[in-house]
Structure 1
Amino acid sequence: MRKRILIVLGHSSEDSLCCSIANTYLKGAQAAGHDVRLLSLGKLKFDPILQNGYNAIQALEPDLVAAQESMVWAEHMVFVYPIWWGSIPAILKGFFDRVLLPGFAFKFQKGALMADGLLAQRTAHLIATMDTPPWYYRWVYRMPGHNQMKRTILEFCGIKPVAVTSFGPVKSSKPATREKWLARAYEFGFKA
């Protein structure tokens, strides 16, 4: 079945393994006939700082308005990013701070304990690279970045299920290992 897929590259560099993974996923998804958009955060023009929290409206830059439109358009979202300091890069966190706003991504009902996720009926796949061995990140660190992305950001906004794939350790990986990761990214896109 044909899907509308939004790929968000949460790495600031176009010369990164994450960029290669995002582009390879895109090729696989296009080969399967899906409608795909790629959003590269490093190319967007926006202030990643929510200057006044939710106390004052901060106008969205045109790139963020377009990003919100793509999120509404998408049926499936793919986030490709590195794990830095155990979590997501600042550019990705700043992007979420600015676009996942009350009234767009979630809404609190008076007296309710939890917010209503306004981006329901969408699924997501997280593809994260890391220098930590994925088993160590899972069992010793307890996956803080994955939990943040899956539970406290995407599921909070109604996006589920959220699949998670970890590639690592990157720093010591051999070219053949990276080729296997790219082949998996292509397959993920093709089978989305």
Structure 2
Amino acid sequence: MLPRNVLLILASPADSFGAALADAYADSAEHAGHRVERLALDTLDFDPLLHHGYRREQALEADLQAARQALLRADHLVFVYPVWWGSVPALLKGFLDRLLLPGFAFRYRPGQAMPERLLGGRSAQLLVTMDSPPWYFRWVTGAPAIAQMKRATLEFCGIRPVAVACFGPLQDSTPARRERWLAEARALGAVLPPARR
């Protein structure tokens, strides 16, 4: 497989198991010859609120301008985040609200129900941590934090395929179990999926 440009977006706290998963994935991808750029959202300086919706332009801060360029360079995106109250962390939601704007990520067309998807040619991987058992999150709650990212956001913008790996329940997990999860993240980083146009 040809080397790919990977953008890893960490929306987990720096001292979390999610951050360890991100490191395992990124290190393995780099070892496989891919170029990895990392963004830790809690280190970026930006207002996560879209104050006027899409009615008025809200200038991108320097860190969001740099994130936009990193996304354009990437052909594989990795999002690492915890499930909080069934959804993604507020900081990740704010980052997506501010970055994936009309005209950049998608464009509505007159007379067409579905928009033009402007970020095609990229694939994505979600590394999702949770304190619930993954089966419970999927079958009882409907996995809203995954549906939101996979279908309603990334695929809406043309990014596919979007692979998902869930890790949980984290609470009371043993060191041996966590090591198996880290090995899974390393295996995912070693073999990236091809993007579809």
- Normalised by the length of structure 2, the TM-score is 0.95
Aligned residue number for residue 131 of structure 1: 131
Structure 2 CA distance, aligned partners of 1:58 and 1:166? 34
- In 1, Cα distance between equivalents of 2:71 and 2:116: 17
2:49 maps to 49
Count how many residue pairs are aligned between Structure 1 and Structure 2: 191
Query: SS where residue 104 of structure 1 aligns?
Result: coil
Deviations 1:22-76 (A, max 9, x none): 1111100110010110111010000000011111110000110111111111111
Structure 1 partner of 2:5: 4
* Partner Cα distance (1:113, 1:26) in 2: 38
In structure 2, list runs of 5 or more residues that go unmatched.
Answer: 193-197
Return the alpha-carbon distance in structure 2 between the equivalents of residues 175 and 116 of structure 1. Answer: 46
1:111-122 equivalences under 5 Å are 111-122=111-122
Distance 1:113 1:132 in 2: 36
When normalised by structure 1's length, the TM-score is 0.98
1:152-192 Cα shifts (integer Å, max 9, x gaps) = 00000000110111000001211111111111111111112
Instruction: Give the ranges of 4+ consecutive aligned residues of structure 1 lying more than 2 Å apart after TM superposition.
Output: none
Instruction: Provide the secondary structure at the position in 2 that maps to 1:18.
Output: helix
- For residue 74 of structure 2, what is the aligned residue in structure 1? 74
**AA at the equivalent of 2:41:** L
Structure 1 residue aligned with 2:59: 59
Q: Which residue identity is paired with 1:4?
A: N
| Aligned twin of 1:39 | 39
